[in-house]
Structure 1
Amino acid sequence: MYIVCVAACPTGVAHTFMAAEALEITGKKRGHDIKVETQGSLGTENEITADDLSRADAVIIAADVAISDKERFEGMIKLECSVSDPIKFGDAVFEAVEQEVANG
């Protein structure tokens, strides 16, 4: 499964990058191809492209602030959670999105 993710926290520093790392590690451990965009104090990094969106089975938005360009995910299977959830409950986040994909 190909899952695109966005991580963003209010200050755009520590939790953004901790969540991005947790999403990558847990996703790969569960056998998924993962791309994580970060939106933080340095701006947007590792931006999700139109090609990524066309390939993606689902999106995880781990954010405690409004993210830029959220409308690009319209019509996709989407899980929204707190930026801390992938850090604390990584497997549960992926189990939830896997369940959503399985249920179509």
Structure 2
Amino acid sequence: MTILVAVTACPTGVAHTYMAAEALLIAAKKKEWTIKVETQGATGIENELTASDIEKADIVILTNDITIKNEARFEGKKIVRVGANTAVRHGDKIMQKISENLGLN
């Protein structure tokens, strides 16, 4: 089973942060992959990833519109960076690219 974790954030920390999270959740579910998404929005960090979540993850997806807080915790993991807007519009394509480029099922 493929396990993903993601952190979504956008410059204002409002709509795109949460829309990107939802799009990634839906796209991963379609592939029958497990995903946990942390949001770093206007209200702070929600659904914070644990050390265990990160350790178990095959791939980390980070939105790159702004600096992700506590990014050092992902050191040594395979990281895919996408814009929040890209995640919102192309969640399925992101999952497909991960599958193709990294050899995941």
Question: Which category describes the TM-score, using the shorter chain as reference length?
Answer: over 0.9
Whole-Å separation in 1 of the counterparts to 2:77 and 2:100: 14
Query: After alignment, is 35-44 or 90-99 more displaced?
Result: 90-99
Q: 1:102 to 1:26 in 2, by over 3 A?
A: same
Match of 2:77 in 1: 76
1:8-41 CA distance string (max 9 Å, x none): 0000000000000001011111110010000010
Q: How many percent identity over aligned positions?
A: 45
Match of 1:57 in 2: 58
TM-score (norm 2): 0.92
Work out whether 1:66 is the aligned partner of 2:91.
no
Match of 1:22 in 2: 23
CA RMSD, aligned part only? 1.3
SS at match of 1:67: coil
| Displacement of 1:97 | 2.0
How many pairs align? 103
Match of 1:2 in 2: 3
Query: What amino acid is aligned across from residue 43 of structure 2 in structure 1?
Result: L
1:59-92 CA distance string (max 9 Å, x none): 1012310010111111111100100112111111
Match of 1:40 in 2: 41
Query: After alignment, is 60-69 or 90-99 more displaced?
Result: 90-99
Whole-Å separation in 2 of the counterparts to 1:92 and 1:85: 9
Identify unmatched segments of 5+ residues in structure 1.
none
TM-score (norm 1): 0.93
Whole-Å separation in 1 of the counterparts to 2:29 and 2:64: 20
